[in-house]
Structure 1
Amino acid sequence: MSTVTTPNGYTLDTSGRRVVVDPVTRIEGHMRCEVNVDQDNVIRNAVSTGTMWRGLEVIVKGRDPRDVWAFVERICGVCTGCHALASVRAVEDALNIKIPKNAYLIREMMAKTLQVHDHVVHFYHLHALDWVNPLNALKADPKATSVLQQTVSPNHPQSSPGYFRDIQSRIKKFVDSGQLGPFKNGYWSNPAYKLSPEADLMGVTHYLEALDMQREFVKVHTIFGGKNPHPNYLVGGVPCAINMDGDLAAGAPLNMERLEFVRSRIHEMVDFCKNVYVPDVIAIASFYKDWLYGGGLGAKSVMDYGDYAKVPYDKSTDQMPGGVILNGNWDEVFEVDPRDPTQVQEFVTHSWYTYPGQENKGLHPWDGVTEPKFELGPNTKGTKTNIQEIDESAKYSWIKAPRWKGHAVEVGPLSRYTLAYAKKFPHQREQVDRSVAFFNQLAGTNLDAKSALQTTIGRTLARALEAEYCADMMVDDWNDLIANIKAGDTATANMEKWDPSTWPREAKGVATVAAPRGALGHWVRIKDGRIENYQAVVPTTWNGSPRDPAGNIGAFEASLMNTKMERPDEPVEILRTLHSFDPCLACSTHVMSEDGSELTRVKVR
C-alpha cells in the first residue's frame, strides 16, 4: 500500500514523486531529507535521516565522572556549554552535591548567554536566508528602507538612508565580485521569496550587524568559563574564583572590572533582542502572512522539562515551565518526570542501533544501550555509500526515537512558549500577545496566539522571544550575584565530595537543561567511582527521530506534511521549515567508518 495513516494522525502517501535533499545545509551536522510530493507539489510523505553516528556514550564508559563534562561537551560546538552543564548537574544529582549560590548564578548567565547567542546566530546566519533574498536588496530604495526600519523598530540607532545606502553598496561590490560566499547557490529567483527589496535590504543589513554582535556576546563565556566554544565547567560549582579587591594578576578571574564587562555585554544582548531581532522576525513574517505551514507536532504535542529556577534545585520556581501537551489540548498539561522509567524512553526499531533481544522495546536512558547496527532496508535504492532513496519501512537513521509515554512530541522554544502560554505565565503571554498584535498590524490579519505560534513562523518567533526573555533574566542574575558578593559570600565551588572516597559505591543521577534547541537530558550511572552507563537524549533526537514501532512520525517529518512547494527542485520550503528547528545533527549523531570498523584507539596512561 502507498498510503498509511499513523497513530499520531498523519496520512502518508508514498505514491508521488520522491524529492531528496542531501545534505540539508546551513545547519550543524549531517542531515538528509526525502519527501513525496503529489501532482500539485504538496508534500504527502516525509523522511528525516541523521547520517552520522554519535558514540559519546561509548567513549565515556569507565571514565571518571568528574571529567565527563569535558567529553560530552564536545557533542556539539554550536550549543556550546549546555551538554557540560547537563553533565555536571547529573553527576551532582547522583552524588547529592549542592553548589554555592554564586556558582548557580554564574551558570545561569552562561546558559542564558548561550540561548541569546545561539538564537541570534540561528536566525540571522542559518535561517534568515530562507526568507530574505540578498540579491533583491540591490533594488531597494535606501530612503524607503529607512522608513521601514523606523516603522518596525524606531529605537534602532542605525536607521538613516545613508547607512542603508552604504550597506547596499557593500552588497553590490560583493555580488559584482562573483564571490557570493554564504549567498552562493541560493534559490534567489524562486517565487517562494516574498519580501520587498527594502525589507530584504534591512534583513541583510542586520545579518551583517549580527555577525559583530554575536562575537561580543560570547565574551561572557570567556570571562566565566575561560573560552568559547567549550567553556570550562566543574563538578561542584564553577572554576572561576572571585576576588573583588584584587586584579586579574592576583589569580582570581573575577573582579569588579570583569563583572562590569559582563554587565555591558548583557545590556547589549537586551538592546539587540528588543530593537533588532524580535522586530525583524515579526516584520519579515508579515510578508509571509499566507505561509502558515510547518506546525506539525508543534500544533499538537509538545514537551519540555522546565528550567531557570530562581531558587536552585526548586522546580516550582522555574521561569520556563515544564510539562507535556498532547493532541492540541492546551487545557491539560501533564507533568514530566525524567526519573520515571515509563515516561522518557528511546526506541530503535527504525534506527541504526540494536537492543539485543528487545528490538521493539523502549528503554529508559538509565538502562539505555548504544550499540550500532547499520543495515539498509530491502527497498532502498542505491548502495550503502550512495543511497538514492531510503527505505523508511526499515532502519533509516542514526537518530534514536525518544517518546514520552509512547507519544512523539516536539521540543524547543516553540514548545516552551506553548507551555508557558497554556500555563498562563504572565511574562511569556505578554511577549506573545504583543508580538502577534504587531504582526496583525503589519500584515492586516487577525490571527490569535495559538494560530500564529503553531507554524514555522511561530517556531521562529518563539526563538526570538526566548532570546529576549533570557537577556532580561540575566540582568536580574547579575544583580543577584553582585548582591550576594556584597553580603560577603565569594564561594564558587563546593569541594566536600570531590574525593571519590566520599561517594557511594553505586549512584545514579539525571539532569535536564533548556538547551537552545529544546529539552536536553543527561542520565548517568556511577559504579566504583567510574561511569557505568551514560545516555544523553538531546533536542534533535526528539525532533529528528524516525518512526517508532507503532509508526508515529517525529517532529521534523510531521512539520513538512501538507506543505505546498513552488518548485520541488528548489526545495526552499523544506529548508525553511527544517531550519526553523535549528537542527543540530552533531548533537544526535557522530562518526563511524563506512564498514563499521574501529577508526582509532587512544590509550591514556
Structure 2
Amino acid sequence: MKKVVIDPITRIEGHLRVEVEVDEDGVVQEAYVSGQLFRGIEIILKDRDPRDAGLMAGRICGVCTNSHFRGAITCVEDAYSLKIPKNAEIIRDLIAMALFIQDHVVHFYHLHSLDFVDVTSALSADPKATSKEAHKYAKKPFRNSHSHYEAVIEKLQNFVKAGKLGPFANAYWGHSDYKLTPEQNLIMISHYLEALKFQTNISKAVAIFGAKTPHPQTLVVGGVTSVADMLNPQRLNDYLFIIKEAKDFIERAYLPDAKLLATAYRDEIKVGLGRANGNFLSVGGYEFEGDQRLFCGGVIYNHDFSKIEDFDERKVTEEIDRAWYKGTPEENEVCYTDLNEDGTLKTAKNDDKYSWIKAPRYDGETMETGPLARVLVSYIKENKLIKPFVDEFLQETDLELLDLSSTVGRNVARAIETSYVCEYIFKLVSRMIQNIKYYDTDTWVKFDFNNLQKDTKGRAFLEVPRGVLCHFVKIKDAKIENFSVIAPTTWNATPKNFDSKRGAYEEALIGIKIQDTSKPLEVLKVIHSFDPCLACAVHVIDTNGKELGQYKIKTL
C-alpha cells in the first residue's frame, strides 16, 4: 500500500491536507482529510456583547462573510425571541441570493474548472469549430464569435510566450484524465476569463444592500440598517440590472458549460465517480409565498430517494474523538499531536487525532451538505419552484437523479441552483416593492437591550452557498458565555470518529483510480467539487507561545 500526500490542496479557501492510501493499481483504499489551520474565532467571541456577534463571526472567513454575519445575528435574535420586519428579511435574502450566485460562479470557473479544462489543448482549437460546438449546449452561446475565440487564443499564447502563466501555472497539463476536445477547452477558458468580470459586477449587487463586500455592515440584531437603499428607486434598479446581466451569463455560459461537462464526462457520472455515502442534509429556508420555501429541509440516507425524513435539530451533535481537541467540543481546548517522523498524519490507530476539523453528526451519521443536498431534498419533496429546473436539465442531458451524486453531478446541481436562485431574486424584489407601496417601510424592530433576558441561548440553521451552517450562542449576564459554529465544510470534511465512519470528502475518494501518483489530478477534482472552505471549518495560534504584538486602543 502506497500513501499519497497532497498538502495543501490548492484553489480553495484555507489549508486542506489530503492523504490517500492506494494499492498497486493506484486505486484509493483509504483516505484522511485534515484541516491544517486552527482559528479561534469562537474563543474571541467569549465575554462579548451579543449585539457584536455578527461583526466578529463575519471574520471567520473572507469569502463567507455575509453567511457568518447573518448566522450570528440570527441566533442572537433567536435567543431574545426577536421577530424582524418582513423587509429586513427580504433585504437579508437579497444579499444572500447575490452571494449564492457569486460564490457558485467563482467556484466553478476559478476554483474548479481547471480540473476539467486543459489550457494547453485550447491553443490548438479551431475558432470556427469552437463556435459550432458551443451551439450544441446553448441556443445563443455567450460571446460566441470567431474573432472572440481568436482573441482568447492570442491571450493564452501571450501568457505562454511571456513565461508567466498566472492563474494557469503549476497545473497537470496533458494529464490523461482530461477529456475535453480543444474546442471544448477553448469554450470553457473563454468563459473562465469572462467570469472574472462577472465576479466584480455581482459583488456590487451584494454591496448595494450590504454597504460593502466582503464584511457587510448593514446587518444588526433586530433587522437591517439599509432602509435608504430600499427606498431609493435607483438603488433597486442598479441591483436588478446587475442580476439581469448575471442571469444572461448563467443561461448562456454557466448552464451550457455544465451540460458540456455532463456530456464529456458521462462515463464518470454513470459509474458514480466521486459519489459519497448518500446521506444528504438540508435545513431548508428562504420564505417565498406562504408555506413555500426556496429550499426544502430534509434528510436522505444511503441514496434512498423513496423516503425522506424531516430535519430535526435535536439530532445534531458534534464530536472530537479524532480532532485535535480535548474536553468537550464547546470548550475548544486544543490537543495537537505531532505528525509521524516522515511528515504524514498519525492515523495508524483508531484513536489517532489528525485534523483541526471537528466531527458533526446527524443522528450518529456523517452527512453531505451543499447544493447537491438541497437540490435532491427539494426535488424529492416536490418543491414546485425548483423541480422544473431539474427536470429540464436531466431531460436535455439524458441523466437520472442519482447521476447528480457524483463529482460532475455536484457541479450540475450547483449550476441548476444558480439559475433557480437568479429567477427567485426578481420575485423577492417585487415583494419588497409591494410592501413599500402599501407604506410598510420598517427594517428594524425596536428593543431595549437592558430589559432583555440576561441568561438565554439561541441557535440558527441556515442554508448558505456551501451548505448547512449552524450557529449556537449561550448568553450569561448579558454577555456571550459560549459560541459555536458548524460550517458546511465541517460537515463534509469531518474526520472519522471512533466509529470509523468516513465523511463525504473521504468517502468520495474511495475507489477512484489515480493514473499517476505524482500528479493526483483525480483527487483534486473530487475534493474541489465540494467547494471546500477551511477557514469556515476550523475556527491563528503560534504553537510556541510567541507574542505576536501588543495593541492599545484609545477610547473617547
* Structure 1 length-normalised TM: 0.88
CA RMSD of aligned residues (A): 1.7
**Among 293, 302, 305, which residue is 2:280 paired with?**
302
SS of alignment partner, residue 531 of structure 1: strand
- Structure 1 residue runs without a partner (length 5+): 1-15, 243-251, 357-362, 441-446
Cα contact 1:350–1:392 (8 A) shared by 2: no
Which position in structure 2 is the counterpart of 1:575? 524
Which position in structure 1 is the counterpart of 2:407? 456
Which position in structure 2 is the counterpart of 1:438? 396
Equivalent-residue separation in structure 1 for 2:500 and 2:374 (angstroms): 26
SS of alignment partner, residue 320 of structure 1: strand
2:254 pairs with 1:287: no
* Letter of the 2:364 counterpart: G
Cα contact 1:20–1:389 (8 A) shared by 2: no
Tell me the CA shift for residue 253 of structure 1. 7.6
Equivalent-residue separation in structure 1 for 2:348 and 2:429 (angstroms): 49
Tell me the CA shift for residue 389 of structure 1. 4.2
Equivalent-residue separation in structure 2 for 1:79 and 1:152 (angstroms): 31
Tell me the CA shift for residue 540 of structure 1. 0.6
Inter-CA distance 324–600: structure 2 relative to 1 (3 Å threshold) = farther
Which position in structure 2 is the counterpart of 1:234? 220
Equivalent-residue separation in structure 1 for 2:62 and 2:410 (angstroms): 23
Cα contact 2:99–2:465 (8 A) shared by 1: yes
Equivalent-residue separation in structure 2 for 1:155 and 1:323 (angstroms): 37
- Structure 2 residue runs without a partner (length 5+): none
2:447 pairs with 1:485: no
1:283-303 alpha-carbon deviations (Å, 9 max, x no partner) = 023111122344433x51110
Tell me the CA shift for residue 471 of structure 1. 0.9
Inter-CA distance 286–596: structure 2 relative to 1 (3 Å threshold) = farther
Equivalent-residue separation in structure 1 for 2:510 and 2:21 (angstroms): 10
Which position in structure 1 is the counterpart of 2:338? 376
1:226-266 alpha-carbon deviations (Å, 9 max, x no partner) = 11111111111112123xxxxxxxxx685111111011111
**Among 325, 346, 362, which residue is 2:318 paired with?**
346
1:165-194 alpha-carbon deviations (Å, 9 max, x no partner) = 111111111121110011111100211111
SS of alignment partner, residue 205 of structure 2: helix
**Among 383, 386, 390, which residue is 1:428 paired with?**
386
Which position in structure 2 is the counterpart of 1:209? 194
Equivalent-residue separation in structure 2 for 1:267 and 1:479 (angstroms): 14
**Among 299, 312, 316, which residue is 1:324 paired with?**
299
Percent identical: 40
1:104-135 alpha-carbon deviations (Å, 9 max, x no partner) = 11111100111000000000000000001111
Which position in structure 2 is the counterpart of 1:360? none
Q: Following TM superposition, where does structure 1 have runs of at least 4 consecutive aligned residues deviating by more than 6 angstroms?
A: none
Which position in structure 1 is the counterpart of 2:137? 152
SS of alignment partner, residue 115 of structure 1: helix
Which position in structure 2 is the counterpart of 1:162? 147
Equivalent-residue separation in structure 2 for 1:104 and 1:507 (angstroms): 23
**Among 386, 391, 399, which residue is 2:347 paired with?**
391
1:322-353 alpha-carbon deviations (Å, 9 max, x no partner) = 11111221122122232x2xx11111010001
Inter-CA distance 336–597: structure 2 relative to 1 (3 Å threshold) = farther
Equivalent-residue separation in structure 1 for 2:75 and 2:178 (angstroms): 45
Cα contact 1:381–1:389 (8 A) shared by 2: no
Cα contact 1:376–1:396 (8 A) shared by 2: no
2:108 pairs with 1:131: no
Cα contact 1:294–1:561 (8 A) shared by 2: no
* Structure 2 length-normalised TM: 0.95
1:386-437 alpha-carbon deviations (Å, 9 max, x no partner) = x234426300000000000110111111111111122122343322222122
Matches within 5 A, 1:562-601: 562-595=511-544, 599=548
2:496 pairs with 1:524: no
Cα contact 2:142–2:253 (8 A) shared by 1: no
Which position in structure 1 is the counterpart of 2:368? 410
Which position in structure 1 is the counterpart of 2:101? 116
**Among 310, 315, 328, which residue is 1:335 paired with?**
310
Number of residue-to-residue matches in the alignment: 549
Equivalent-residue separation in structure 1 for 2:494 and 2:7 (angstroms): 17
Which position in structure 2 is the counterpart of 1:468? 419
